[in-house]
Amino acid sequence: MNKGMVYLVGAGPGDPGLLTVKGLACIQRAAVIVYDRLTGPHLLTHAAPEAELIYVGKSPAGHAMTQEEINALLVERASRGQVVVRLKGGDPFLFGRGGEEAEALARAGIPFEVVPGITSAIAVPAYAGIPVTHRDLTSTLAIITGNEDPRKEDSSIQWDKLATGAGTLVFLMGMANLDRITEQLIKHGRDPKTPVALIRWGTRVEQQTVTGTLENIAFRARETGLTNPAVIVVGEVVALRERLAWFEKKPLFGKRVLVTRSREQASELSRIIEDLGGEALEFPTIAIMEPESYAPLDAAIERLGSYRWVIFTSVNGVHFFFRRLRQRGRDVRDLHGANLCAIGPQTRQALERFALQVTHMPDEYRAERIVAGLGEQINPGDRVLLPRADIARKALAEALRDLGAVVEEVVAYRTVPAGGNARLIRELLAEGRIHVVTFTSSSTVRNFVQLLQEPHLPRLLEKTMVACIGPITARTAREMGLPVHVQAREYTIAGLVQAILEAAVNAQ
């Protein structure tokens, strides 16, 4: 029998940035991913398009599968010869029943590996501004399951020793037993005035923190409606939160932002969003590829000396043009007689990395403004090269021809629809768990609509802010029936983020 492989992977507490490098590699190569309720949706976007995603989550309301069924599922899929990832919140061996799953695999002779994850017992308090140890307050820490009823006679928890035996107590998944936990701690000698924090969905955009003391925290929980999944922190270190809270103070805290750019381009926008406290959920709707034929671009490269202007409208245009230039055995010296125009600061920076001087960059990145800026610099008969995408708008070329220029458009790259996890995105939108959708080009809009295949898409976006990088993209969105709530004044990634920030502040 051809046995596969099972990876028991700790997904961390929720922030996708806290997944380990090895855990990410396992997700990317898996044929089957078996995931639970505490797995952040962002992590599933790293799965291969053909990977099978199986939800086996457990909650107080019920279980999608029993533990025995999960064990059997892992064995059965690995027995088919598949690579299986069992993706578990936090660390698989800390109250995660990973040990039971490993035992089942070992009994069946299935090879497996354990990939530890960052435990919520430490990371969640940290994101709430609470260090679980502190030299001036405590050097001891205990991590306790909160699922066990503290009143049962055969409790495995020795409350008389636990209550005062460690400076910081962290209970995981204990909200259902919060009243009894606090009663037992006070009964066995813990000061009723001891600070307590309850942190729900810690490290995620949904993070919510409630503080109090042992004698009143159960009342505070009922008052605020706070429920599982939550971490309970008991100890003097909780008082440090007032000074050390950092995550919840970030300007995009609480916002999950959908990034629809190509995977190659998404990193910059995602990084800025996450630096500002939001969660960037990447759903590439486009992929950037080589042209179907290089013949037109090759011909243009052979006669580079004949062009008075070369206009680059995107970073992708720069990347693919110069890559082909090198492949043809040429270099930047062939551009010595041409003036260079860059549409936008990022495109300009891409050219400057080749030590090239940009002659002109328009103050606004639309065809009309580009031509207005070049009007006195382009003479009738000047040859202009436009290396660009296969689906680029014709407005710029037409406006340049109206000036008398001889314009040659060549395809330097293609923009094609990508294949992301549309089902997951539809579910998150329906649940109101995506707060902002960003569009950075008309093609991202069109492909987003095409990939979702949702007949009532405007209704699906009722709880979501739609943000567009500029007027052309916004016009396309409206033509496709989408609402547009935010439009950047400066048509750049930085301008888009600034517009989202302003809208978020105004919505508060």
pLDDT string in tens for the chain (508-residue length): 567 999 999 999 988 889 999 999 999 999 999 998 778 777 888 899 899 999 998 665 556 789 999 999 999 999 999 999 999 999 999 988 999 999 999 999 999 999 999 999 999 999 999 999 999 999 999 999 998 766 666 778 999 999 999 999 999 999 999 999 999 999 999 999 999 999 999 999 899 999 999 999 999 999 999 998 899 999 999 999 999 999 999 999 999 999 998 877 778 899 999 999 999 988 898 888 999 999 999 999 999 999 999 999 889 999 999 999 999 999 999 998 899 999 888 899 999 999 999 999 987 776 677 888 888 888 899 999 999 988 777 888 998 999 899 999 999 999 888 877 888 899 999 999 999 999 998 999 999 999 998 888 999 999 999 999 999 899 999 999 999 999 999 888 999 999 999 998 777 6
Total structural domains within the chain: 4
- Catalytic position from the list 58, 65, 191, 390: 58
Whichever domain contains 67, its CATH number is 3.40.1010.10
How far lies 203's CA from each of 122, 140, 141, 178, 228, in Å? 11, 23, 20, 21, 14
Euclidean distance between CA atoms 341 and 421, whole angstroms: 38
- Alpha helix stretches (DSSP H) within 232-311: 241-244, 263-275, 295-302
Residue 287's pLDDT is what?
86
Whichever domain contains 319, its CATH number is 3.40.50.10090
Is residue 53 domain-shared with residue 87, that is, in the same domain? yes
Euclidean distance between CA atoms 143 and 339, whole angstroms: 66
Respond yes or no: is residue 58 known to be catalytic: yes
Is residue 23 domain-shared with residue 84, that is, in the same domain? yes
Whichever domain contains 243, its CATH number is 3.30.950.10
Determine the 3-state secondary structure of 390 from DSSP.
coil
- Catalytic position from the list 5, 15, 88, 173: 173
Respond yes or no: is residue 173 known to be catalytic: yes
Is residue 362 domain-shared with residue 468, that is, in the same domain? no
Domain boundary among 96, 118, 140: 118
Is residue 372 domain-shared with residue 450, that is, in the same domain? no
Range of the domain at 332: 289-416
Euclidean distance between CA atoms 432 and 434, whole angstroms: 6
Is residue 427 domain-shared with residue 457, that is, in the same domain? yes
DSSP 430-484: HTT---EEEE-SHHHHHHHHHHH--TTHHHHTTTSEEEESSHHHHHHHHHTT---
Is residue 206 domain-shared with residue 182, that is, in the same domain? yes
Domain boundary among 118, 145, 176: 118
Is residue 309 domain-shared with residue 409, that is, in the same domain? yes
Domain boundary among 67, 89, 118: 118
Mention every residue, 6+ apart, whose C-beta is less than 8 A from residue 479.
none
Residue 45's pLDDT is what?
82
Neighbours of 323 (CB within 10 A): 13
Handedness of CA 325, 328, 329, 333 (dihedral sign): negative
Respond yes or no: is residue 36 known to be catalytic: yes
Q: How many CA atoms lie within 13 A of 115 on its CB side?
A: 23
Residue 343's pLDDT is what?
87
- Catalytic position from the list 15, 36, 91, 382: 36
Please measure the distance between the N-terminal and C-terminal CA atoms of the chain and give it in whole angstroms: 59
Is residue 159 domain-shared with residue 203, that is, in the same domain? yes
CA-closest candidate to residue 413, choices 309, 315, 310, 268: 315
Euclidean distance between CA atoms 74 and 387, whole angstroms: 51
Residue 37's pLDDT is what?
79
Is residue 458 domain-shared with residue 357, that is, in the same domain? no
How far lies 39's CA from each of 11, 65, 91, 334, in Å? 6, 16, 11, 52
